């Protein structure tokens, strides 16, 4: 082994013959300076947007208008314009709710858990992931609010005294959802805003006098970058990260209780909480890559969102996808092992000979088979393959929720009430409209706020380390030892 290391290129010191220290792969490529990072990230906000931004923004606004029209039509006509009828009382609306809530989990995981575990690669993607969390939760909240039928009465879900003497059923997991999701959204907004404050001050200082300078200055809260400011900022960020970490596990666990606490065959199982959490992280990371890879290419952020970041997120998708696949298999095993005929027949109709077997095939193929490509390293470094797998996962996670909710209710306990669910045009256009709403909010975020945390990225540069020695001997990278064909070769720093 020592001979192999000594004979590998660039691995041995020419004087002593001893192997060099193995360097960490840089998280910012091409030896970029502090000023380059500030100018590149702030330039996205300060400069004119590329034409592709408008080509995406205008359809997003139109789709948002379509969503508003569908909701207005639902209120004026009745919730029956959606396709759910007995026994399928929950259908696309609750499917879409769970889908969007799941997408929002990656932001908190990247921002909180990876921060507490000191994973420095999170710095280039945490800001966009946090924004994606907020926008996804906003999309998710629309569906249960309008599902109640009379959306103007939804405030009765809050424990507020009222003249009708109506009080909430605190034993119901549906009410737990209200508190879990609202708490998650509130903490996520505060967490996201706290992280923005230093960058808002940077934009304030770079702006010309005018309305934008006033607004950035107002939201920067008088930040001057003083030592006391940074001390308070880091303390607050640490506390919010610690507060947010339980939410990653609790929110989607509470969402899973909507099903697990029922007595419906196919739902009444204890595997749902970890299964839902793993699936949420799985789908959330896929959506982060779906958004950040195009953003990196459009705005020239390849030195900040590096192959290392994409590789790490692909590995997390592979891990969580394998957990989800294990959960799929364990559901069948437990249905068989329980000796409950109703439970076993539910899963047989769901996956083997039911009317909606196509949805199960799509779910299993997209969520279990597609991520297995990431075992092969060149596929994790091929952006086309990564985007293909992420698109499969995005679709597969929607089909998972559809399989759990709609196909289970299609074959209920009473055969006389069986029916095949069919979505109406209102279902389809409402769901399509939420994608427009989500994309519109994300594009506005790109336009007016820094998409990458400037201060945090600067913190992972070698010159930010007080023990960094510019005159020390260069180490070697993992690519040098393993002979990877797609290794990164540093270029000279830009002027």
Res. 14 pLDDT band, cuts 50 70 90: very low
| Torsion of Cα atoms, 322 then 355 then 143 then 313, to 10° | 20
* Cα gap 440→450, rounded to integer Å: 16
* Cα gap 340→337, rounded to integer Å: 8
Task: State pLDDT tens for residues 39-56.
Answer: 999 999 988 889 999 999
Mean per-residue pLDDT, 314-333: 91
Task: State pLDDT tens for residues 143-170.
Answer: 888 888 788 877 777 777 777 777 777 8
Run of H or E residues at 140: helix 126-147
pLDDT(19) > 80? no
Residue with tokens 């360097």: 23
CA angle 61, 152, 424 (to 5 degrees): 55
Dig out the tokens for 398 from the structure.
Answer: 């929607």
Mean per-residue pLDDT, 288-297: 92
More confident residue, 166 or 135: 135
Task: State pLDDT tens for residues 175-202.
Answer: 888 888 888 899 889 999 998 999 999 9
pLDDT(10) > 80? no
Which parts of 173-288 are beta strand (E)?
A: none
Give pTM, 2 decimals: 0.85
Task: State pLDDT tens for residues 373-420.
Answer: 999 999 999 999 999 999 999 999 999 999 888 888 877 777 777 778
Res 374: pLDDT: 93
Res 22: pLDDT: 58
Domain ranges of the chain: 2-149+175-454
Res 468: pLDDT: 65
């Amino acid at each position: 082994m020592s001979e192999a290391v000594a004979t590998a290129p660039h691995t041995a010191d020419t004087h002593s013959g001893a192997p060099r220290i193995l360097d960490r792969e840089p998280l910012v490529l091409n030896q970029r300076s502090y000023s380059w990072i500030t100018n590149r990230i702030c330039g996205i906000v300060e400069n004119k947007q590329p034409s592709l931004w408008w080509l995406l923004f205008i359809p997003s606004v139109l789709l948002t208008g379509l969503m508003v029209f569908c909701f207005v039509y639902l209120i004026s006509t009745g919730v029956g314009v959606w396709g759910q009828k007995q026994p399928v009382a929950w259908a696309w609306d609750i499917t879409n709710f769970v889908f969007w809530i799941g997408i929002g989990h990656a932001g908190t995981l990247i921002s909180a858990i990876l921060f507490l575990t000191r994973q420095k690669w999170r710095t280039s993607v945490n800001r966009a992931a946090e924004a994606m969390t907020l926008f996804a939760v906003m999309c998710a909240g629309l569906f249960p609010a309008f599902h109640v039928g009379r959306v103007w009465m939804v405030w009765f879900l809050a424990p507020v005294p009222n003249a009708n003497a109506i009080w909430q059923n605190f034993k119901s997991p549906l009410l737990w959802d209200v508190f879990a999701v609202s708490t998650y959204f509130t903490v996520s907004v505060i967490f996201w805003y706290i992280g923005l404050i230093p960058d808002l001050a940077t934009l304030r200082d770079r702006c010309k006098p005018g309305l934008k300078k006033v607004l950035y200055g107002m939201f920067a809260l008088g930040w001057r970058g003083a030592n006391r400011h940074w001390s308070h900022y880091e303390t607050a960020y640490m506390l919010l990260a610690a507060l947010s970490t339980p939410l990653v596990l609790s929110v989607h666990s509470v969402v899973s209780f909507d099903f697990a606490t029922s007595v419906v065959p196919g739902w009444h199982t204890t595997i749902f909480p970890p299964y839902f959490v793993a699936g949420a992280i799985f789908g959330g990371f896929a959506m982060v890559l779906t958004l950040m890879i195009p953003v990196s290419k459009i705005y020239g952020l390849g030195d900040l969102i590096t192959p290392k970041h994409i590789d790490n997120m692909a590995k997390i998708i592979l891990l969580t996808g394998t957990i989800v696949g294990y959960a799929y298999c364990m559901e069948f095993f437990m249905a068989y092992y329980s000796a409950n005929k109703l439970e076993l027949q539910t899963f047989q109709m769901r996956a083997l000979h039911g009317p909606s077997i196509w949805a199960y095939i799509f779910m299993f193929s997209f969520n279990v088979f597609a991520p297995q490509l990431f075992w092969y390293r060149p596929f994790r470094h091929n952006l086309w393959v990564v985007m293909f797998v992420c698109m499969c996962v995005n679709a597969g996670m929607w089909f998972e929720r559809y399989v759990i909710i709609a196909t289970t209710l299609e074959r209920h306990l009473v055969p006389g009430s069986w029916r095949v669910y069919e979505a109406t045009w209102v279902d389809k256009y409402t769901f399509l409209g939420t994608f427009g709403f989500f994309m519109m909010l994300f594009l506005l975020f790109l336009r007016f706020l820094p998409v990458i945390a400037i201060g945090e990225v600067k913190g992972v540069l070698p010159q930010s380390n007080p023990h960094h020695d510019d005159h020390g001997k260069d180490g070697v990278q993992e690519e040098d030892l393993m002979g990877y064909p797609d290794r990164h070769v540093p270029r000279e720093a830009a002027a």
